[in-house]
Amino acid sequence: MIYSYEDFPLDQVASDKFEHNHDLYLGKSAIRYDLLIIRDPFNLFASRLKASSKVGHFLSVNSQNKTMVNLWIDYAKEYLGETNYLKHNKICINYNQWFFDIEYRQKIAKKLQMEFSDAGIDIVFGLGGGSSFDGKQFDGQATSMNVLNRWQKFCDNPQYKNFFNQEVWEYSEQIFCHIPGTESLIK
């Protein structure tokens, strides 16, 4: 079973209160894994801004004290090991690398003690309307979507540019290295 806590602060997900109720809400698990999937901020924020233009709430997160940007920074810190909230066989996944690298996907499957299969790699799930940019247009050919260059659609948008502070830049460089062209976003 996979349960998503997308947009929740990690300290909340890993709190004693949550842990106390885990089995009640989700059932007992022989093995638990905490997966942290992080996407580069340029494409993540572009996708969320695009989705918010349709639905309106994709710039908010499940926290009264954090913004989407703050939460991404918190996830980056956990990914890099600066924090350690996730305690159950933590596996950190670089979405960008996962998207284009079959060997990386195979390594993740091995860590999860699963038989590797790329079945479904080209499916665009309809939950939430599919892709914020393409809807379900690429269902059956999802790996053809230009998900690593979404940011280019917003490079002149002032609201989008305001998402990027020095901390976001530094963590992005550490995790994803330099993403060519993104330097044009520096104010």
Please give the single-letter amino acid code of residue 3.
Answer: Y
Structural domain boundaries in the chain: 10-176
User: So what's the pLDDT on residue 57?
Assistant: 55
pTM: 0.89
Buried b (16+ CB within 10 A) or exposed e, 56-95: eebbebebeebebbebbbbbbbbbeeeeebbeeeeebbbe
User: So what's the pLDDT on residue 127?
Assistant: 67
Residues 183, 186: Cα–Cα separation, whole Å: 6
User: So what's the pLDDT on residue 81?
Assistant: 97
Task: Give per-10-residue mean pLDDT for the chain (187 aa).
Answer: 83 87 83 94 92 66 85 97 95 96 97 94 76 70 81 93 94 96 85
User: So what's the pLDDT on residue 102?
Assistant: 96
Distances in Å between the Cα of 152 and the Cα atoms of 11, 87, 119, 125 are 33, 36, 30, 24
User: So what's the pLDDT on residue 187?
Assistant: 65
User: So what's the pLDDT on residue 123?
Assistant: 83
User: So what's the pLDDT on residue 65?
Assistant: 85
